[in-house]
Amino acid sequence: MKRKAVSLLMAAVMSAALLAGCGNSSQAPAQEEASAEASESEAADVEETAGDGQETAAESTGDGEVLEFYHGYYHEESEWPAAKVMRDIYDDFAAAHADGPVTFKPIPVENRAEIVSAQVAGGNFPDIVDIDKTVPQAAISQELVLDLKPFIDENGLQDAVGINYTQNAVDGHIYTVHDQLESRGMWYNTAVLESAGVKCEEIKSWDDFAAAMDKVNALGDGSYGYVAGQGSLFMLNAMMASTEEGRSLLASELTEDTIQSEAFAEAFKKTAAMDQANGSGHTTEDLGNLMDDFNKKGMVAALFNGVWNASGIDAELADSIQPAIFPGDVAIASAGGGISISSGMSEAKTELALEFLAYMVSPEVQEKIFTGVQAAPCNATLDLQALAQAGGDPIISKLAEACSQINGAGTVVINLNYTWGGDVGNAIINALMECAVSGTDIDARFEQLQQELTALIA
């Protein structure tokens, strides 16, 4: 592959693509993922959508090749404005290459995971896919997916890909790069806290947090401490990150040693006790179910959500709601799955695919992701505060503050769902939700959880 040629062309390609069209600057509502899972009826159509393998994906138009890119931004602009911003970014790149030997074809789909699974089962991989899961081990073992690390290293893109460089490293290889980060901390409603006699800057430890939530729950005016359940999983995640043992366990796959560890037991039981004091009526497996209590109604003191929550805050509450990191100077930031490229394409298609990767992590595109999508960009070189000040948008300013706090946290760890697995995360959430019910024996429920997790990893 002519990587030097790619490097020389990169600046010109990015400039042309960025001038080809303007990204939509509409504000994006808080959404955790770019796509939903396909329904079973949609899954039946996967084989047809995915094609018969590499030959179908490499189909030509006229004398040129087609580089197909599956992504999950299929939503109508009215449903999710950020999806339109992302489609515009992709379309700009396509327009810049409209007269080239390879046609870039973005394809929005709801069932990326099924498409990847179907092709990998047939010994193939999509040309490019913005994968919403981790790259399947079967694709790696069959060498179906391109190692992106040599290209990143040769073109000095380490800072541009940010934490992808370390979090998505697999045995010295990088098979996926996500252009946005899942950066998580906390959001406080200072008005609710102050009504309970608490200042958010006084909450420095989890004991401080528990005491503050008790005061809020004692107000008797309909306010409550925090949205538990899914949020409690992030509490546990952050608690474990406060010790060296916990950080080590979070960075690795779940093992029996982890399940039996003191760090895991202590974090679970402490979280469960706080959830029980917070009340079972304030727990949910999906933060979205109770998010309006915080963002719209102003009746909750704390919300464990990502930086993107800035765009969901009601204007009347904007002055009261402030971002923060977890007690103990901890934040959760994850690269997750992103752009992955087939290793079985022609040289011309591979070069264009790598140019697209460089384009997506470029400062110009990353600025659009920050201001238009209102997400945390992966590129570590951006001055987010300067971008926020230049735009003058209060939501972007709050987003910049949240991102800056997370980037500056003393300890930054990965979301345990990426290392332990989503099924493990769901099992922990279910156990914590049961513990939130008054009178539940937390020790007994933890022992049951240990058995469940042991069965999951068997």
The candidate with the shortest Cα–Cα distance to 269, out of 417, 445, 426, 415, is 445
Task: Give 270-298 as a 3 state SS string.
Answer: HHHHHHHHHCHHHEECCHHHCHHHHHCCC
pLDDT band at 63 (very low <50, low <70, confident <90, very high): low
Degrees, nearest 5: CA angle 101-102-103: 125
d(CA 237, CA 233): 6
161-170: long-range contacts at Cβ-Cβ below 8 A with a sequence spacing of 24 or more?
161/361, 161/378, 161/379, 162/335, 162/377, 162/378, 162/379, 162/380, 163/333, 163/334, 163/335, 163/378, 163/380, 164/335, 164/338, 164/378, 167/334, 167/335, 167/414, 167/418, 168/335, 168/338, 170/140
Looking at the fold, whether 117 and 74 belong to one and the same domain comes out as yes
> What distances in angstroms separate CA 11 from CA 6, 60, 103, 358, 363, one per listed residue?
9, 27, 19, 9, 11
Domain housing 78: 3-178+335-382
d(CA 103, CA 364): 22
Instruction: Tell me the HSE value of 410 on the side-chain side, using a 13 A CA sphere.
Output: 11
pLDDT band at 132 (very low <50, low <70, confident <90, very high): confident
The b-or-e profile of 367-380 (16+ CB within 10 A means b, else e) is bbbbbbbbbbbbbe
Q: Is residue 390 in some structural domain?
A: no
The b-or-e profile of 97-110 (16+ CB within 10 A means b, else e) is beeeebbbbbbbbb
The candidate with the shortest Cα–Cα distance to 361, out of 145, 108, 100, 152, is 152
d(CA 456, CA 264): 16
For the chain, the average pLDDT equals 89
Query: What's the pLDDT tens digit per position in 154-170?
Result: 999 999 999 999 999 99
- DSSP string computed for 52-116: SSHHHHT-EETTEEEEEEEES--S-TTT-HHHHHHHHHHHHHHHHTTTSSEEEEEEE-S-HHHHH
Query: What's the pLDDT tens digit per position in 231-246?
Result: 999 999 999 999 999 9
Q: What is the mean pLDDT of residues 377-395?
A: 93
Q: Is residue 396 in some structural domain?
A: no
- DSSP string computed for 13-27: HHHHHHHS-----PP
Looking at the fold, whether 192 and 318 belong to one and the same domain comes out as yes
Looking at the fold, whether 444 and 318 belong to one and the same domain comes out as yes
pLDDT at 1: 45
Looking at the fold, whether 289 and 271 belong to one and the same domain comes out as yes
When comparing pLDDT for 61 and 372, which is higher? 372
Alpha helices in 299-362 (DSSP H): 347-360
Ramachandran class of 437: left when φ > 0, alpha when ψ lies in -120 to 50, beta otherwise:
beta
d(CA 238, CA 416): 10
Residue 224 near residue 298, CB atoms below 8 Å: no
Q: Is residue 47 in some structural domain?
A: yes
Looking at the fold, whether 216 and 329 belong to one and the same domain comes out as yes
pLDDT at 57: 40
Residue 303 near residue 317, CB atoms below 8 Å: no
Looking at the fold, whether 143 and 199 belong to one and the same domain comes out as no
Looking at the fold, whether 116 and 160 belong to one and the same domain comes out as yes
Task: Give me 141's structure tokens.
Answer: 């073992």
Say how many domains are in the chain: 2
Residue 432 near residue 226, CB atoms below 8 Å: no
Looking at the fold, whether 40 and 119 belong to one and the same domain comes out as yes
Q: Is residue 262 in some structural domain?
A: yes
Looking at the fold, whether 262 and 362 belong to one and the same domain comes out as no
Q: Classify burial at 83, counting beta carbons within 10 Å of its beta carbon; exposed 0-12, middle 13-18, buried 19 or more.
A: buried
Looking at the fold, whether 173 and 190 belong to one and the same domain comes out as no
Q: What is the mean pLDDT of residues 417-440?
A: 97
Looking at the fold, whether 197 and 79 belong to one and the same domain comes out as no
pLDDT at 392: 87
Looking at the fold, whether 425 and 279 belong to one and the same domain comes out as yes
When comparing pLDDT for 2 and 249, which is higher? 249
Task: Give me 197's structure tokens.
Answer: 């006699």
Q: Is residue 401 in some structural domain?
A: no
pLDDT at 60: 46
Query: What's the pLDDT tens digit per position in 200-227?
Result: 999 999 999 999 999 999 999 999 999 9
Q: Is residue 378 in some structural domain?
A: yes
Model confidence, pTM: 0.82
Q: Is residue 313 in some structural domain?
A: yes
Q: Is residue 405 in some structural domain?
A: no
Q: Does 369 have pLDDT greater than 50?
A: yes
CATH number reported for the structural domain that contains residue 355 in this entry: 3.40.190.10
